[in-house]
Amino acid sequence: MAGDGIAASAILTGFAAPMQSADRPTRLDLVSPMLIITGSDDNYVPGVLVLIASAAFHNPQARFAVLDMGIKAENRARIDRLARRLGIEIRRHEVSDGCFDHLTIKRAHLSRSTYLRLLIPDMFPDEERVIYMDCDMVVMGDLSPLDRVDLGDSFVGAVPCPSPDPVEVAACGHDTGTYVNAGLLVMNLPLWREEKLAERCIALLTDPSRPLLSEDQSAVNILARGRILHLDLAYNTYSDPSSYDRVEDFPHPPVVLHYVVNNKPWNIPIPLADIWNFHAAQIADLMPPRKKLTLRRRLSLWNRDRKLVMGRTMRRHKYRNRDQVIQAMRRIEADYIAIATRGASLRGRMSPAGEPQAGSLA
């Protein structure tokens, strides 16, 4: 990053949440900048681009890697152009489309690319710690605490799922508050390699006597049980208002937003989509064309809105609480965009003319 640049994370200090484990000792022997890894097939390229752009906006010194499972040539070029635009390192690692043909997928919104995180320990033999992030996330603040937190003998640091399926939680031997979402994992790679955790996860996933609804996420929860460091909820905040029973449960403010299940902001209008759209707009010329909404999707959105209106009309407690969460989301969204817009403008003015600085989205 140019010496005269302003880090957006300094401008957006209000959008950085503390770790729950803030009293733990930190790593002081960092050799390389933190490495953020994501994975995708061709369908999630918009998410990959915005995840990296938003993470670099707040963490301009970070390195990035993309596990590429069938990304088309024109979209690979978009990722490579993004690296040059931001002046950051983005390494692409191509993975065979048939790599996980022997593994099944039960949830309709997923593809086999969900298993890519299990390849990380062997694909990055020189790394001791990485931050894995799903490509349907957007970063709103500083991620460096994740790179400093002491993992001890934990395989991963992860955020407990705010609304897990109780049947799946029980099947994994967890309680509701201990079952974690695998969308963001701070991975302790020496332990993964030493105890062959990835291989054991794959073996579990191929065991017909242990069907798992949430695939590799549940496999990690089972095999790493008791050795998972729970991170603050702000580092994996769901965009779905129904995930939070009370407004007090919604992290204020988030550091990482997760557009879970079918709620993808590049496909449909959803809560907190404007934060994703803000970062997408900064790299608009690199983004793939948006697909038009299908009739089925339009009907699904109409039915969602119909249920919400009926719930409000009947003054049901669940919908009143959901309205409060939605209002909190809107306030956070408006505040973030206002501050981030000023931050982007300041950084653009301080960059040499015609030369985007590292981490700049201008």
Give residue-wise pLDDT tens across range 265-278: 998 888 999 999 99
* pLDDT 10s digits, 71-98: 999 999 999 999 999 999 999 999 987 6
- 241 preceded by cis ω (within 30°)? no
The two structure tokens encoding residue 39: 């994975």
For residue 350, pLDDT over 80 is answered with no
Which H or E run contains 139?
A: strand 137-139
Residue 240: pLDDT band by 50, 70, 90 thresholds? very high
Measured between alpha carbons, how far is 351 from 359 in angstroms, rounded to an integer?
11
Comparison of pLDDT for 113 and 18, the residue scoring more: 113
pLDDT for residue 361:
38
Residue 355: pLDDT band by 50, 70, 90 thresholds? very low
For residue 57, pLDDT over 70 is answered with yes
SS3 breakdown of the chain: % helix, strand, coil, rounded to 5? 45, 15, 40
For residue 18, pLDDT over 70 is answered with no
**In 3D, which of 139, 149, 148 has the Cα closest to residue 56?**
139
Measured between alpha carbons, how far is 10 from 56 in angstroms, rounded to an integer?
13
Q: Which residues, other chains included, contact 117 with Cβ-Cβ below 8 Å and sequence gap of 6+?
A: 37, 39, 132, 182, 185, 187, 216
pLDDT for residue 24:
38
**Stretch 96-103: mean pLDDT:** 70
pLDDT for residue 5:
32
pLDDT for residue 4:
32
Phi-psi region of 25 (alpha: psi -120 to 50; beta: other; left: phi over 0): beta
Measured between alpha carbons, how far is 228 from 169 in angstroms, rounded to an integer?
15
pLDDT for residue 354:
39
The two structure tokens encoding residue 241: 């208002």
Residue type, 31: V
Measured between alpha carbons, how far is 34 from 23 in angstroms, rounded to an integer?
21
Residue 357: pLDDT band by 50, 70, 90 thresholds? very low
For residue 3, pLDDT over 80 is answered with no
The residue to which tokens 């803000």 are assigned? 278
Cβ atoms of 157 and 231 within 8 Å: the answer is: yes
For residue 7, pLDDT over 60 is answered with no
pLDDT for residue 321:
85
Which H or E run contains 188?
A: strand 180-188
Residue type, 320: R
Residue 205: pLDDT band by 50, 70, 90 thresholds? confident
Residue 230 has φ and ψ, to the nearest 5°, of: -80, 125
Measured between alpha carbons, how far is 131 from 44 in angstroms, rounded to an integer?
19
pLDDT for residue 292:
75
Residue 348: pLDDT band by 50, 70, 90 thresholds? low
Per-residue buried b or exposed e for 29-42, using 16+ beta carbons within 10 Å of the residue's own CB: eeeeebbbbbbbbb
**In 3D, which of 202, 56, 27 has the Cα closest to residue 128?**
27
pLDDT for residue 293:
66
For residue 351, pLDDT over 50 is answered with no
Phi-psi region of 241 (alpha: psi -120 to 50; beta: other; left: phi over 0): alpha
Edge-to-edge, what's the strand order for the sheet holding 237-238?
137-139, 256-258, 237-238
The residue to which tokens 């209002």 are assigned? 327
Which H or E run contains 238?
A: strand 237-238
For residue 25, pLDDT over 70 is answered with no
Q: Which residues, other chains included, contact 335 with Cβ-Cβ below 8 Å and sequence gap of 6+?
A: 14, 253
Instruction: State the chain's mean pLDDT as an integer.
Output: 83
Measured between alpha carbons, how far is 114 from 173 in angstroms, rounded to an integer?
22
For residue 295, pLDDT over 60 is answered with yes
Of 117-126, 170-179, 236-245, which gets the smallest average pLDDT? Answer: 170-179
